[in-house]
A and B are shown apart, each in its own frame.
Chain A
Amino acid sequence: MKVEGDIKKIVSPLLKSKNLKITGSIKIGDYEEPSEEWESIGPTPKPKITDLRKWDFKLLKRYPPFYMPICDMCCLCTFGKCDLSRGKKGACGINIKAQQSRIVLIACCIGAACHAGHSRHVLHTLIERFGKDYPIDLGNSIDVEAPITRTVMGIKPKTLGDLEKVLDYCEEQITHLLSATHTGQEGSYLDFESKALHAGMIDDLAREVGDIAQIVGFNMPKGDANAPLIEMGLKCVDKNKSVILCIGHNVVPGAEIMNYIEDNNLEEEIEVCGICCTAIDVSRYNDRAKVIGPLSRQLMFIRSGVADVVVVDEQCIRTDVLEEVLKTGAVLIATNEKMCLGLEDLSHLSEDEIITKILRDRAGLILDEHKVGKVATELAKIISKERKHTKDKCLPTLEEVRALANKCTECGWCDRVCPNSFEVMDVMIGAKEGNFDKFKELYKKCYGCGRCECECERKLPIVSMTTKVGDYFFKDLDFKIRAGRGPIQDVEIRNVGAPIVFGDIPGIVALVGCANHPNGEEEVAMIAKEFLERKYIVVTTGCAAMAIGMWKDKDGKTLYDKYPGEFKAGGLVNCGSCLSNCHITGAAIKVANIFARLPLRGNYEEVADYILNKVGAVGVAWGAMSQKAASIATGANRWGVPVIVGPHSTKYRRMYLSDGNDFEVFDKSCKEVVKIGPVPEHLITPAENMKECICMIPKLCMRASDGPKGRGMKIYHYVSVYEKYFGCMPPDLEKFVRTESDIPFMMKDKIKEYLKEKNWKPREKLPKDPTLIY
């Protein structure tokens, strides 16, 4: 059989027959998939921008966008600037809501483009190396190799060449989405939001391509719960060796460096360490690589002067990195077309010629990664000798810190420009007297953005001073992180599927995202600890995964030492880098597929509906900063996964908030519309501080499908964290207790008393099989 044309039109009338199998060759767009009987094809393979609009509108009805315009104006075209405040429209007719949603869409497009570009680069490199037919094999424990690709594209990718086609689709969608933000295109905020959700989904898909490609191409762990523990922290690097620091997200140059070092037996001479996701991914490739830490430690570590050679690739790197590196006497190699830094392209030269050139110019652009391995390593050997006596002098001494502090005029502007309003001036006042207590506190919380320095009228190098104080007083900055394990195994999903859907495992908490933390990294670890102790499944990626490792108990153990890496109750699962976030949504999708046997193929809406109503997972992006974080969160939202963000994330301008009243769902088994409590209450919401975030988590893990025992457990945790952090019962508890059987036995009396005060009545009907699709 050969089916051509719009497969949706052909297949959709038949969809109701669940076991429909289509055999033969199916042509979807220009992609021909070989005959295979794996699943019937659903209604939306390769969805166009509008194909999932109906689903989006259902979400947006329940969770209407809540806007906080960061600017009263629009300045995107030369009609403007236009004042959109208080009901006014721009010269093109746009209003403030549409403008906010347009900016959100632009952010999501930037994020999706970033991941698609990253994945394209990795894939391109691997196809050049191994060819298009290189197989995708994630080992015996993972059959559902690419849940997002299966659901969105309707294909099972078998080779690297198949992944290329997925990226073709992503790039096409991103072009359409971005074009909708041009002046005089989309005019409805709801449609902009639907497009943002589409961009988020594309982002998720692009990340899956990139991570699967690098897992198979670089032989990274394939769902290994016992992936090795990696050394982490500012103190884990041996300063007496030659040090190469990799910053960014792209594993390719770092992997080349590791290869060269191993091929030439230079392990004892050279240290390779990394910051941000490059660090995580290089350590997935080779467990000898060391992780310095998240983005927040970037400027501090560069200023410390420990690195002899700094290699940058892409994303989230300080754009003044060249200037900062040169100040320390180290050299810089840029390796990616997305970040050329004005440097001369040396790619055409031989490795020895490049080395000579960089020794003279102190920096260069090398777009041929093969050459980066030798160049970076050989340069590190030379530069470390050159810097032998100057390396330690990059930071001021403690005495010098005090002398510098004495120059402070106490103008207070550092406090005012610090994104977190840290009290830097008081820190200086203390240091003048030789009291560094407040300085030590600042070191733990400050993410080294450098805004205070830029403002300081005395040009005090506040970040260098803070770095010195940290270096001097904290001797135990050596931590552990479990290497990113990649996907969740099918058997793990089989084991936890039922307890997740009925609520006996109280939830999956995904701690992800950047390092724009309001109070330092430790809070992320504290959130993880709280829910590990409560036997939630805690999954993590990226800067958050590093932050979790940067806390130790009194015995010097990190949470990675203390908790197993399995996807099970009480497990701490580091999936890997930002790209690896796909395995978190992937796990939710696999619950629908492996446990509930829902077909994935081209079946987005049904799968997302299942997750929204039945999989108690919540994302927490406590330090979300980037446009990538915006698209990742929005992608999770379209799958029906709610997200909590930190207070800075209100600057994304838009949240999806329900009004907290009852929701309506359709009960598939009784065939009627039933009212339920607001679960999950919001799709994306901020918390002001860690306490509030912790108290929101159990609530956002509640789902319509919870059985009484499961809901009881979730209520138990909700009440128990509220009492622990706010000293009272949750003020909205009555919304979540459906009948008396939901009341946890251990809290029976006080909850009953509370419910009585609130005039609570049990619900008469509970949906057996809730859905939004009706």
Chain B
Amino acid sequence: MLGKTTPYQPTAGSNLNHAEIVSTKIAVSMIKRSKHPILILGSYGEGLEYLEKLNIEKIYTPRDMNLLDAIKKISNEKKHDLVIFSGITYYYLAQAITHLKHFSDITSLTIDNMYHPNAKYSFPNMEKKEHLEAIKRLVMLVNNP
């Protein structure tokens, strides 16, 4: 699929500020460097079963909490310094995450196989297989220092 840095849905961006692309390696070091990372994990996509094993605090959305409630809570509490998203309906997350972009200092990172322009950092668009490998690697590297 072409255009690794074109938003997966080309109109999902919010115009001026688009996410920086990160590799698995950089994502891993971001998570490791973070004092209080949190993963907000949705219910779609193939990497979920691996991400469930990731050794960091998690919120399962929507089961544990509505996505906006989670974003609101995290940005109000100011406890976390990195919030990672995966497995959430693309256009829904793309829109919701703009709240963090404008109203919070928390770093946001998306690790789906679709480039998310409204995060601070995002994986690029990837083929599903390539993405699954990236997720497996990420989980392995974060969990085994």
Interfacial residues, chain A to chain B (CB-CB below 8 A): 66-73, 83, 85-86, 96, 411-412, 416-417, 419-421, 518, 647-648, 650-651, 655, 657, 659-660, 685-689, 691-692, 695-696, 726, 728, 731
List residues of chain B with CB within 8 A of the CB of A71. Answer: 14-15
List residues of chain B with CB within 8 A of the CB of A659. Answer: 72-73, 76
Pull 20 A–B residue pairs with CB atoms less than 8 Å apart, ordered by A: A66-B68, A66-B99, A69-B98, A69-B101, A69-B102, A70-B98, A72-B14, A85-B14, A411-B2, A417-B10, A421-B9, A647-B89, A650-B95, A659-B72, A660-B73, A686-B92, A688-B66, A689-B62, A731-B63, A731-B65
Q: Using A67-B102, A67-B103, A85-B16 as known contacts, say yes or no to A688 and B92 having CB atoms under 8 A apart.
A: yes
| B15 x A72 contact (CB < 8 A) | yes
| Cα separation A419 to B11 with both chains bound (whole Å) | 10
**What 4 pairs across the A-B complex have the smallest Cβ distances?**
A692-B62, A650-B95, A647-B92, A72-B16
Contacting residues of chain B (72-118) with chain A, CB-CB under 8 angstroms:
72-73, 76, 88-92, 95-96, 98-99, 101-103
| Cα separation A86 to B16 with both chains bound (whole Å) | 11
List residues of chain B with CB within 8 A of the CB of A518. Answer: 89
| B99 x A85 contact (CB < 8 A) | no
Q: A18 → chain B, closest Cβ, in Å?
A: 40
- Apart from A85-B101, A411-B2: 10 A-B pairs, beta carbons within 8 A: A72-B16, A86-B101, A417-B10, A651-B95, A657-B72, A659-B73, A686-B92, A689-B43, A689-B89, A731-B63
Classify the secondary structure of A's interface with B: mixed
Q: Using A83-B16, A86-B17, A421-B9 as known contacts, say yes or no to A731 and B102 having CB atoms under 8 A apart.
A: no
| Cα separation A444 to B48 with both chains bound (whole Å) | 27
List residues of chain B with CB within 8 A of the CB of A72. Answer: 14-17
| A685 x B68 contact (CB < 8 A) | yes
- B69 interface contact, C-beta 8 A: yes
Of A411, A417, A686, which contacts B68 at CB under 8 A?
Answer: A686
Q: A518 → chain B, closest Cβ, in Å?
A: 7
| Cα separation A650 to B99 with both chains bound (whole Å) | 11
Contacting residues of chain B (37-63) with chain A, CB-CB under 8 angstroms:
42-43, 61-63
Q: A732 → chain B, closest Cβ, in Å?
A: 8
| A96 x B42 contact (CB < 8 A) | no
Interfacial residues, chain B to chain A (CB-CB below 8 A): 1-2, 8-11, 14-17, 42-43, 61-69, 72-73, 76, 88-92, 95-96, 98-99, 101-103
List residues of chain B with CB within 8 A of the CB of A96. Answer: 102
Q: B3 → chain A, closest Cβ, in Å?
A: 9
| A417 x B72 contact (CB < 8 A) | no
Q: B88 → chain A, closest Cβ, in Å?
A: 7
Interface hub of B8, B11, B62, B101 (most chain A Cβ within 10 A) = B62
Q: A122 → chain B, closest Cβ, in Å?
A: 36
List residues of chain A with CB within 8 A of the CB of B101. Answer: 69, 85-86
| Cα separation A96 to B92 with both chains bound (whole Å) | 20
| Cα separation A128 to B30 with both chains bound (whole Å) | 71
| Cα separation A421 to B89 with both chains bound (whole Å) | 9
Select from chain B the residue with minimum beta-carbon distance to A686: B68
| A68 x B17 contact (CB < 8 A) | no
| Cα separation A726 to B96 with both chains bound (whole Å) | 22
| A688 x B63 contact (CB < 8 A) | no
| A688 x B89 contact (CB < 8 A) | yes
| B72 x A85 contact (CB < 8 A) | no
List residues of chain B with CB within 8 A of the CB of A421. Answer: 8-9, 90-91
Select from chain B the residue with minimum beta-carbon distance to A722: B63
Q: Using A69-B102, A72-B14 as known contacts, say yes or no to A412 and B68 having CB atoms under 8 A apart.
A: no
